[in-house]
């Protein structure tokens, strides 16, 4: 049986109580062994699951459309720094709004000068201001119906290559740029500067905001992509086991691979790395089993109680136990024989007759 927590009724109101302890332990270890760089990315991930569960989600944009939604904070190499699991609005009022999801995931990384990249579900003017107060930049696409966006930006009619931008007094830039379609972005770090890039052999002007966003936005997808190679997840598994296995054997293994590559410089493939991890675990298990010595069997000794037999006689505990099953406690107390011998080795040194001593030892 695979379980990650005690099965009691004390936390039944928490839908994630079966994996809450494991999730907290994994998040602590992810943060303990990695110091993230400047750029961070937040996005959703899905643990595939088609069973019946109240907080199962549907996302047509994901490879696995049905499953359990995770909010992930990742670095650009694809290292998962923190995960929150969505358990429904009724179960978790704190982390369901986009701004609260972001602030919860970034709680240990604020006031350190990081730049956070998000898609249009998270990005808003209010979130940008809140992060600026905590010395953290925000870059991301933004929906045109968000509050406080300048109307002259959202309503502007642009031709391909044209742009319009506005910057607020507190340093928030909102820009609309026409590529194949309108691209609306927000940044607390960039101006409306353009850079020349080469695309299909031609020099093309592109906003610096868009270049940096495209570079960073795929961190969560990269982590999921690496985890998908030789994944141990199977269909007929209960939801909490699937989430736990995904944390231990997918997310943690991908993080371990990234740390391994950073330390050694060896660009090993994820499938080969999984094999090496298994070999290492098996070798350690064999070494441990070889070093374990079999405990010596305890030699029990039947000893006679010192003193007169009349004062030292006690009921044979094994006979009394067997007689109680047949005739009840009151009758067994009178019918069971009394002895002066006991086992010196057993805990509590029980009184036993000669036959019972050899029967149980």
Measure the CA–CA gap between 114 and 39, rounded to whole angstroms.
6
Measure the CA–CA gap between 43 and 61, rounded to whole angstroms.
12
DSSP state of 110: T
User: Is pLDDT at 327 greater than 80 in this prediction?
Assistant: yes
Measure the CA–CA gap between 107 and 86, rounded to whole angstroms.
17
Measure the CA–CA gap between 313 and 295, rounded to whole angstroms.
34
The stretches of the chain forming alpha helices (DSSP H) are 20-32, 98-105, 125-133, 151-154, 208-216, 219-228, 239-246, 252-264, 270-291, 309-312, 317-327, 329-335, 354-360
Instruction: Tell me the pTM.
Output: 0.75
User: Is pLDDT at 341 greater than 60 in this prediction?
Assistant: yes
pLDDT in the model for residue 262: 93
Contacts made by residues 204-209, CB under 8 angstroms, sequence distance 24+? 205/161, 207/163, 207/175, 207/177, 209/139, 209/173, 209/175, 209/185
User: Is pLDDT at 32 greater than 90 in this prediction?
Assistant: yes
pLDDT tens digits for 265-305? 998 999 999 999 988 888 876 666 666 555 555 678 888 88
Question: pLDDT band for position 69 (50/70/90)?
Answer: very high
Residue carrying structure tokens 């595939």: 48
Question: pLDDT band for position 11 (50/70/90)?
Answer: low
CB contact set of 37 (below 8 Å; sequence gap of 6+)? 75, 76
Question: pLDDT band for position 9 (50/70/90)?
Answer: low
Per-domain boundaries in the chain: 13-119+217-275, 137-207, 302-360
State how far Cα 337 lies from the chain centre: 61
Average pLDDT over residues 23-27: 94
Residue 222's φ and ψ, nearest 5 degrees, are -65, -40
pLDDT in the model for residue 250: 94
Q: Is the dihedral of CA 87, 35, 4, 254 positive or negative?
A: positive
pLDDT tens digits for 224-234? 899 988 888 88
325 within 8 A of 316, measured Cβ to Cβ: no
Three-state DSSP state, 84: strand
Measure the CA–CA gap between 333 and 170, rounded to whole angstroms.
88
Average pLDDT over residues 249-275: 94
48 within 8 A of 66, measured Cβ to Cβ: yes
Residue carrying structure tokens 């509590």: 348
């Amino acid at each position: 049986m695979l379980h990650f927590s005690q099965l009691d009724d004390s936390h039944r109101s928490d839908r994630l109580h079966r994996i809450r302890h494991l999730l907290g332990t994994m998040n602590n270890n992810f943060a303990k062994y990695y110091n993230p760089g400047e750029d961070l990315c937040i996005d959703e991930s899905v643990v595939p699951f088609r069973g019946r569960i109240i907080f199962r989600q549907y996302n047509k944009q994901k490879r696995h459309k049905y499953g359990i939604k995770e909010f992930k904070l990742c670095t650009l190499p694809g290292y998962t720094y923190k995960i929150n699991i969505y358990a429904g609005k009724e179960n978790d009022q704190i982390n369901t709004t986009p701004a609260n999801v972001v602030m919860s995931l970034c709680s240990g990384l604020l006031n350190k000068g990081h730049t956070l990249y998000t898609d249009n579900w998270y990005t808003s003017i209010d979130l940008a201001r809140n992060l600026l107060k905590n010395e953290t930049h925000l870059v991301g696409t933004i929906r045109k119906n968000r509050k406080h966006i300048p109307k002259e930006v959202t309503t502007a009619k642009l031709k391909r290559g044209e742009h319009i931008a506005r910057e607020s007094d507190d340093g928030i830039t909102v820009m609309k740029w026409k590529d194949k379609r309108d691209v609306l972005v927000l940044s607390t770090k960039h101006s409306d500067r353009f850079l020349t890039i080469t695309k299909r052999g031609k020099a093309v002007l592109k906003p610096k905001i868009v270049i940096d966003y495209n570079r960073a936005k795929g961190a969560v997808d990269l982590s999921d992509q690496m985890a998908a190679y030789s994944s141990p997840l199977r269909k007929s598994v209960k939801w909490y086991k699937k989430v736990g296995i995904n944390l231990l054997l997918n997310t943690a293994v991908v993080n371990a691979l990234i740390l391994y590559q950073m330390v050694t410089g060896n660009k090993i493939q994820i499938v080969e790395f999984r094999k090496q991890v298994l070999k290492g675990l098996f070798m350690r298990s064999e070494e441990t089993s070889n070093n374990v010595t079999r405990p010596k069997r305890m030699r029990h000794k039947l000893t006679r109680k010192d003193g007169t037999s009349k004062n030292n006689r006690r009921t044979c505990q094994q006979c009394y136990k067997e007689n109680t099953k047949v005739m009840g406690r009151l009758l067994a107390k009178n019918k069971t024989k009394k002895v002066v011998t006991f086992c010196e080795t057993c805990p509590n040194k029980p009184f036993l007759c000669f036959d019972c001593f050899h029967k149980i030892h």
